[in-house]
Amino acid sequence: MMDGAFPTTQDDSTDPASTGGAGFATPREFGAFNWVGLKTLYMREVRRFMKVGTQTLLAPVVSALLFMVIFKLAFPGRGDVNGVPFGDFIAPGIVMMAILNNAFQNSSSSMTIAKVQGNTVDFLMPPLSALELTVGFLAGAATRGILVGAVTMVAIGLMGAADISIHSIPAVIYYSVIASFFMAAVGLLGGIWAEKFDHLAAITNFVILPLSMLSGTFYPISVFVEPFQTLSHFNPFFHLIDGFRYAFTGAVEGELLVGAAVSFGVTLALSVTCWLVLRSGYRLKA
């Protein structure tokens, strides 16, 4: 058969034009947003807590169920609270606490561990912008918070400790997502600021725990005397718990629309702060 009977195909792997002219592969180009990198970071954050699911998913559910059992046993004859049975009143608050705590723990521990172990290069070197880093870390932490909240609520219902019938599905979705991203942002900022785990413990013990315990999780804020009852309305935890409780019971202590707006505004402000801090490289870049 004569040469040239069939057209020959050029091997692009040896073409200088396709290898950057020096034997190297052409760098991959991304659009305005690196979706591949964002997905990789998000999956990293999800797989990080899924690998230890007994600790990150099962343990919080058990703790929430213990809270329900203890309060039901401690107040066996407790009547309605704001027209809602006591068990139904405290169940949404306990679930919201689980969402908040786990979203915070995921983002804060991820960042602090990376800094302590010197692994921040894992997400600083790849072609990820500050916005993509922010979305990836927050979405991963929010996923853990929502998963824990959903499993906790189902477990409470199966145990028969409370009625988990939903009054407003949009409210359930809104407050679950907002609360998760809210504490994910707090955790990310805390992890960036902290230089060791003692610093995270200080944030938890002196900021998060007092605000959450004084937010009406286990009681109505009407039990407070002034000015503490009024001050409770400036606590973002109160609006999250109050709105989430409304989603299941239809009862609300504050102004629902005001609480929803405040929750969204604070979460947005914290998320933007995370983006600005990551862009500046504060305590991440030498």
- Cα 248-252-254 angle, rounded to 5 deg: 145
Joined tokens for residue 243: 């709105």
Residues 200, 209: Cα–Cα separation, whole Å: 12
Give bridge partners of residue 81 from the DSSP assignment: 84
Q: Which residues of 98-107 are buried (b: 16+ CB within 10 A; e: fewer)?
A: bbbbbbbbbb
> Tell me: the pLDDT tens digits for 9-68?
444 444 444 444 445 555 556 667 899 999 999 999 999 999 999 999 999 999 999 999
Residues 177, 18: Cα–Cα separation, whole Å: 45
Contacts (Cβ under 8 Å, ≥6 apart) of 250: 167, 168
Please identify which residue in the block is written with the tokens 């954050």: 45
Predicted pLDDT of residue 285: 74
Please identify which residue in the block is written with the tokens 């991820």: 110
**pTM for this model (two decimals):** 0.87
> Tell me: the pLDDT tens digits for 66-78?
999 898 888 776 7
Residues 209, 238: Cα–Cα separation, whole Å: 13
Residues 12, 160: Cα–Cα separation, whole Å: 66
